[in-house]
Structure 1
Amino acid sequence: MGRMLDGKTFAGLKVLDMSQGVATPHCGMMLAQHGASVTKVEPFEGDWSRIIGKRYDDFTAATVAFNRGKRGLALDLKKPEGLEITKKLAAEADVVLQSFRPGVIERLGLDYATVAEFNPDVIYLSLSGFGSEGPYAKNPGTDSVMQAYTGFMSINRDANGMPHLTDIYVVDLATSLYLFSTLVTALYQRRESGEGCHIETSLAEAMGAFHAYKMVEHHLQGGSTEIIGAPVGTFETADGYMNINARRDTQFPGFCKVAGTEEWLDDPRFSSYEARKENAAELLELVREVVKAKPTEFWRRALDEEGVLNACVNTFADLFEDEQVKARDFVSWVGHDSTGRIPMPKIPALDPVEDGSPLARSPHIGSDSREVLAKMGYSDDRIEALIADGVVKEYDE
């Protein structure tokens, strides 16, 4: 394996993360994993991602995954002292992340225009559901709502035509990767120009960019879709499921050899790429019968030998034990004080996260409040007073 990134690209970069949920916190986590110092400011009840899914103390799986490497500061922004602390953090920040609905951050006096007055070099990122203009600007937006709104659910239907939600935060995570790449570009631009900027975008726009080709396809084909070839699909085996893609003329013979159906190569219905597309329904029915007759491992090994695209339908537990995953050090296991030992997939081009590393740690609500305030110059007595006055919350173990 060649030389990887060292995880220190953004060393010295200060990030104020006021965001909640998944998309922008995930982006903040990416910055932290690349070396940035990220301070997560959240309310006393915590970021709302702390309630999506099963709770482990004040964590959920999402909170653990999307906030690792950050420091946690819990503040009451309804109190002047809480706002004052946040403004001091914003004044020192290279990057500010926020995901309030349009209008909220302005009422707090932490919007880009205000922050830029005392920190003109700041790169300030604002994310909302629908954007800052338009009839839906003030509407809340979440991953599930955006899967529906952006048309994603319309291309994810069951056999009866019912649109379905994908059971992963696909809108949020796609958005996060766009945000991260945009911030990297903005940081490069600032290095060249010396000027900060305001990045303002939405979940809706990011998802539009994500499935641009499906929009083009929909327009060109009048809403209909065309299969990419056959046989392609997920098929039941004798003991599980396989995804097989043998649509190309270079791979279909290999599949037929493994399946014992080489007579299909001379069948005019299946003897060419276009013929297989035209007769896909008939071919797929035959393939289903053949594949179901033998176990998954037979198909995996035999198809691999013939160079036919395939994969078992793994559970995550299967993946953790997979030889390829182990060979690539794809998933490491780290300890966590609330959840116990958990899997931590590595970020592409970075080394695996080591057990005990600060990059593996996600903050509790207010777990670093004292440390953050002390580094800002607050005395122990002042910190105690802020806690006593309900301005700052400290994690109670």
Structure 2
Amino acid sequence: MAHTGPLAGIRILEFSQIVAGPFAGVALSDMGADIIKVEPPRGEDRRNSGAVVPNEGKYFQSLNRGKRSLTVDLGTPDGQALIHRIIPGFDVVLLNYRAGVAERLNIGYERLSAINPGLVYANITGFGEKGPHVHRAGSDIVAQAYSGLMAAEGKVDEHGAPQSLQSSTFIDRTTGLAAAMGICAALLHRERTGKGQELHVSLLQTALELLSDKVMREPVHDSVLRDPLIAELHEKRDSGARYDEIADVRKQQAPRFASHRLFYGGYHTRRGAIVLGALTMQNRNTIRRILGLDDTTDTAGFNAADPENRRLLEAWRGSIQAKLLERDAEEWVATFIEAGVPASVVQQPEDLADDPHVVAAGMMIPMEHAMTGPQQVVGPLVHMSLTPTEALRPAPPLASHTREVLLECGLDESDVGALVAAGVISTAD
């Protein structure tokens, strides 16, 4: 298949698993890069997460479309030698192994760049390339816990224990985007200078950025808001309080910032749920006019943390809720949109492939998978006028491109046959 995107002609060897690395590969594939995903002969373990057809789970497919599958047993000297043999034909190595694993497999940056000096080598790890936790295993839920994002959200399960943000591995995915951005920048630098380089991104660094306003230190703000909160949280923790009791401390601080949440949050309606997304006074005033509300949250000096004002906020919220229960969610959203107010029905993700706007905007792409048949996949994040991005192909069946890729890399049929016989690679044919 011909690539049309701005990265057409760029070849990437991807050693990836789970989410962050695979998602970076998807983003780069949509930009036109030829992504060769290296898997062990048995396949990546996540191929069978929630799978109905063996090796072809939707979770794996969504994170590996656009790629070709090459199976190599990297635990063998012959498998490592094969990577050394083909690496001159690649522009980029992308991997998300734990720190030290690539070196143990003899595919670290120093080894591969000695063979291919122009190589761009992108590492995705849990905790970064230095520091006491450099060799710690990382995952989205661990990054949520370590970075404080989990505590900032304050979610608890039915046992009062910490609960992750489970709907999407967004630290993983955001880290994947950071890796793709870094690779593009490194390729531009190589075009200008001829020099390859190694780059690092981590789940922790991404998580810190997602919380940047809370993580940053600034003495004036901190003395008024941050320091009293953290002192109370630490005191509660050190007293042996349960996690849900600690989380309540942060929740009790929420009313201080609640003035505008009357107009920025969710409500029930007669049928379905709705969210309002008004961040400007103009939009808030429009909502007040539509709903007949006379709150004073935008008046000078209104302090949402004052106990009397907190009672007023609850009363005003009750008035909004009662009004919204008079009509269906779709009716209210139509009214708000017509008035220029950001609002939406709360939809179920499984419905979105058939959503009229999603379909009309071309956000879903039809494909035909060799094993599972017709499918609709989420299309590229970026659309470009001169170098069109595209979702090139569905996720590859295991080992489906091993022979094709190795022949492209200069091996012949006898080489491939010998590697298959030795158990170093597997092929789908």
Normalized against structure 2, the TM-score is what? 0.81
Aligned partner of residue 381 in structure 2, secondary structure? coil
The equivalences for 1:84-103 within 5 A come to: 84-103=81-100
Aligned partner of residue 390 in structure 1, secondary structure? coil
- Once residues 162 and 290 of structure 1 are traced to their aligned partners in structure 2, the CA distance between those partners, rounded to angstroms, is 36
**Against the structure 1 CA distance between its residues 228 and 30, is the aligned structure 2 distance closer, same or farther, given a 3 Å change threshold?**
farther
- Once residues 30 and 20 of structure 2 are traced to their aligned partners in structure 1, the CA distance between those partners, rounded to angstroms, is 16
**Residue type at the aligned position of 1:177:** L
The equivalences for 1:1-397 within 5 A come to: 7-158=4-155, 163-166=162-165, 167-216=167-216, 220=222, 221-222=225-226, 223=229, 224=253, 226-227=257-258, 229-231=260-262, 232-246=264-278, 248-259=280-291, 262=292, 264-265=293-294, 269-270=296-297, 272=299, 275=302, 277=304, 278=309, 279-350=312-383, 359-395=392-428
Between stretches 168-177 and 228-237, larger displacement belongs to 228-237
Aligned partner of residue 101 in structure 1, secondary structure? coil
Shift of 1:247: 5.6
**Deviation string, structure 1 residues 178-226 (Cα, Å, up to 9, x no partner):** 1111111111111122211110232111221233123238973315552
Aligned partner of residue 17 in structure 2, secondary structure? coil
Shift of 1:286: 2.2
- Once residues 384 and 188 of structure 2 are traced to their aligned partners in structure 1, the CA distance between those partners, rounded to angstroms, is 23
Between stretches 44-53 and 95-104, larger displacement belongs to 44-53
**Against the structure 1 CA distance between its residues 159 and 107, is the aligned structure 2 distance closer, same or farther, given a 3 Å change threshold?**
closer
Q: Is the 8 A contact 1:150 1:204 kept in 2?
A: yes
Normalized against structure 1, the TM-score is what? 0.88
- Once residues 285 and 416 of structure 2 are traced to their aligned partners in structure 1, the CA distance between those partners, rounded to angstroms, is 72
Shift of 1:55: 4.5
Shift of 1:49: 2.6
Aligned partner of residue 404 in structure 2, secondary structure? helix
**Against the structure 1 CA distance between its residues 55 and 130, is the aligned structure 2 distance closer, same or farther, given a 3 Å change threshold?**
farther
- Once residues 204 and 115 of structure 1 are traced to their aligned partners in structure 2, the CA distance between those partners, rounded to angstroms, is 26
Shift of 1:42: 0.9
Aligned partner of residue 392 in structure 2, secondary structure? helix
**Residue type at the aligned position of 2:314:** A
**Against the structure 1 CA distance between its residues 308 and 17, is the aligned structure 2 distance closer, same or farther, given a 3 Å change threshold?**
same
Gap runs ≥5 in structure 2? 230-252
Q: Is the 8 A contact 1:121 1:197 kept in 2?
A: yes
**Larger RCO: 1 or 2 (CA < 8 Å, sep 6+):** 2
**Against the structure 1 CA distance between its residues 142 and 51, is the aligned structure 2 distance closer, same or farther, given a 3 Å change threshold?**
farther
Q: Is the 8 A contact 1:248 1:273 kept in 2?
A: no
**Against the structure 1 CA distance between its residues 273 and 370, is the aligned structure 2 distance closer, same or farther, given a 3 Å change threshold?**
farther
Instruction: Indicate the RMSD between aligned Cα atoms, in angstroms.
Output: 2.6
Shift of 1:391: 0.9
Gap runs ≥5 in structure 1? 1-5
- Once residues 376 and 238 of structure 1 are traced to their aligned partners in structure 2, the CA distance between those partners, rounded to angstroms, is 62
What is the number of equivalent residue pairs in this alignment?
382
